[in-house]
């Protein structure tokens, strides 16, 4: 009888307990808001926080890869920058900016200069008129690096 009473009490106790529930919290920020926050952190010199925000944006918006690439480039991580420019380039095939930035990065590293020149020329063709100067600067740098190698 004691055992039956114990089992009944235990069953009632277990039935009254609720199982833990997982709560999924959705990100309240849009990718562009993450980019804006990252840019604000970057201006304040909070590069780790900027990088985190750009990474959050990059999951949903290729512009996050562009901003992350720019941050890494200016921090001297050219290889990391190149990887993010390549990701942005795949996601934004008609955009001149990732091509131009990747070409500039490779030229700064002194690597893949033939490919960098091709990208710089493509960027020049795709860029709007008011951005052709920056693409020409990239092309000039690539050509200068190529001349140094010869």
| 92-106 burial code (b ≥16 CB/10 A, e <16) | beebbbbbbbbbbbb
Q: Can you state the angle between helices 47-58 and 62-74, rounded to 10 degrees?
A: 150
Give the CA diameter of the chain: 97
pTM (predicted TM-score)? 0.81
How much helix, strand and coil, in percent to the nearest 5, is found in the chain? 75, 0, 25
pLDDT digits (tens, 9 = 90+) for 43-57: 999 999 999 999 999
**Polymer length of the chain:** 150
In the 8-state DSSP scheme, what is residue 129? G
Decide if pLDDT at 17 tops 60. no
Start-to-end Cα distance in the chain: 97
pLDDT digits (tens, 9 = 90+) for 38-94: 999 999 999 999 999 999 999 899 999 999 999 999 999 999 999 999 999 999 999
Q: Considering the chain, what percentage of its residues have pLDDT values greater than 70?
A: 83
Q: Using 50, 70 and 90 to split pLDDT, how confident is the model at 27?
A: confident
């Amino acid at each position: 009888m004691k055992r039956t009473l114990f089992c009944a009490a235990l069953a009632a106790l277990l039935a009254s307990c609720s199982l833990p529930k997982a709560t999924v919290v959705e990100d309240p920020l849009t990718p562009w808001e993450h980019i804006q926050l990252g840019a604000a952190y970057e201006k304040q010199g909070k590069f780790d926080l900027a990088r985190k925000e750009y990474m959050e944006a990059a999951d949903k918006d290729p512009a996050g890869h562009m901003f992350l690439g720019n941050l890494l480039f200016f921090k001297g991580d050219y290889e990391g920058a190149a990887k993010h420019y390549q990701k942005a380039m795949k996601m934004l095939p008609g955009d001149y900016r990732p091509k131009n930035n990747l070409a500039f990065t490779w030229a700064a590293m002194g690597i893949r200069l033939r490919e960098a020149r091709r990208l710089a020329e493509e960027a020049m063709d795709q860029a709007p008129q008011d951005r052709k100067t920056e693409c020409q600067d990239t092309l000039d740098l690539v050509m200068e690096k190529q001349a140094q190698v010869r």
